[in-house]
Amino acid sequence: MRTRVAVIGSGPSGLLLGQLLTHAGIDNVILDRASKEYILGRVRAGVLEEGTVRLMDEAHSGARMHAEGLPHDGFSLAFDGRDHRIDLVGLTGGKRVTIYGQTELTHDLMDHREKAGALSIYEAADVTPCDFEGHAPYVTYEKDGVTHRIDCDFIAGCDGFHGVSRRSVPDRAIRTFEKVYPFGWLGILADVPPVSHELIYANHPRGFALCSMRSTSRSRYYIQCSLDERIDEWTDQRFWDELRRRLPAHHADRMATGPSFEKSIAPLRSFVAEPMRFNRLFLVGDAAHIVPPTGAKGLNLAASDVHYLFEALLEHYQDRSNSGLDSYSAKALARVWKAVRFSWWMTTMMHRFPDTSDFDQKIQEAELDYLTHSRAAATALAENYVGLPF
């Protein structure tokens, strides 16, 4: 088999890139080691920047997102028992975010890819990118006990942090940067109305909490926890009680509770791999970088990578120019590091660290006070939250 672009990974970044290429007339094949059902069963983020929304529209996959997504004009920082609203629209000249679950976005992209007749190969074992440092790359995989080969012009590694794409790059050619945080997020999904119509980021002496949602009847809540915690020791009632303790009283009193249908603990890390291009192999999304979810940047960073790579491939095939391909890594990383900085800053400002001194705590309190009383500081937060331009 031959195609122009072999895409490894059928998550949002791989599917979004595949859809954009398909609608531009650039043939591509998507491969994934997991099943379609497994991919659609994963619970992920749900805050979309305007740039991500625009790319979904460009991929002709945004209709349900616009019909069911929840536009948010702001969010709250909660500390000292009070809410401090960040007016995203007012501070950024009209920009907002959209709440729409990553699972739903993935479903939309899969559905439209199938309607377009583009090829996706699921449950492909031992996917391996080959000869990408030369001029004739190809990908091999096994399916039903048979080894297959796909020759291509380029390989897009959209297969996440644990995928094969980055691991296939020689150690001499790549450099990684990492910070591991000393806590995790315990999160639940429950079919109860959200406690607020906008997100709440809470800083509390007992630890961070986040009140989010997937719809007007489905809530996504998180609390900061130790990495030593065991998920089976957290009953729903224990979670609700702890969440209430970390919120201002008026939210805690009105919170609707109910049984959770998903509960998990996620560690937090910042990670960046440089560069993001290795001749004919390009790393995209989590394959190249991970950020703490505090700033809602993971999915959106993947989308901006897709934008840069798609524009570069379009320029290559339509204009016979490689300038976009040559600048892909530098452009993507410039935006990546700004988002990494923002996510690190939000994380350090909103969480309680095990080794925090009294001095550190006073600095954190001063930061929050300044942020909520300075329009300039609040504007910087809002501009980063809605997404830097790409």
Question: Are 223 and 208 in contact, with CB atoms under 8 Å apart?
Answer: yes
Quick check: 354 pLDDT over 90?
yes
Kindly report, residue by residue over 13-47, the tens digit of the pLDDT: 999 999 999 999 999 999 999 999 999 987 777 89
**Is the dihedral angle over the CA atoms 256, 259, 261, 267 positive or is it negative?**
positive
> How far is 355 from 98, CA to CA, in rounded Å?
36
Helix, strand, coil percentages for the chain (3-state, nearest 5):
40, 25, 30
Per-residue pLDDT, averaged over 213-237, amounts to 95
Q: Two tokens at 180?
A: 């591991």
Question: Are 142 and 134 in contact, with CB atoms under 8 Å apart?
Answer: no
How sure is the predictor about 221, in pLDDT bands with cuts at 50, 70 and 90?
A: very high
Please give the mean pLDDT across all residues of the chain: 96
Backbone angles phi, psi at 73, to 5 degrees: -90, -5
Percentage of the chain beyond pLDDT 90 is 97
Quick check: 208 pLDDT over 80?
yes
Per-residue pLDDT, averaged over 212-236, amounts to 95
- State the catalytic residues: 72, 201, 293, 297, 385
> How far is 326 from 280, CA to CA, in rounded Å?
10
Question: Are 288 and 166 in contact, with CB atoms under 8 Å apart?
Answer: yes
> How far is 198 from 38, CA to CA, in rounded Å?
30
Q: Is the pTM of this model over 0.85?
A: yes
- Residue 42 has a pLDDT of 78
Fold adopted by 181-268+354-386: D-Amino Acid Oxidase; Chain A, domain 2 (3.30.9)
Residues whose CB is less than 8 angstroms from the CB of residue 387 and which lie 6 or more positions away in sequence, other chains included: 49, 50, 51, 52, 95, 97, 300, 304
Of 138, 113, 136, 152, give the one whose Cα is nearest residue 19.
113
Of 337, 328, 278, give the one whose Cα is nearest residue 306.
328
**Domain coordinates of the chain in residue numbers?**
5-70+99-178+269-347, 181-268+354-386
Q: Which CATH architecture has domain 5-70+99-178+269-347?
A: 3-Layer(bba) Sandwich (3.50)
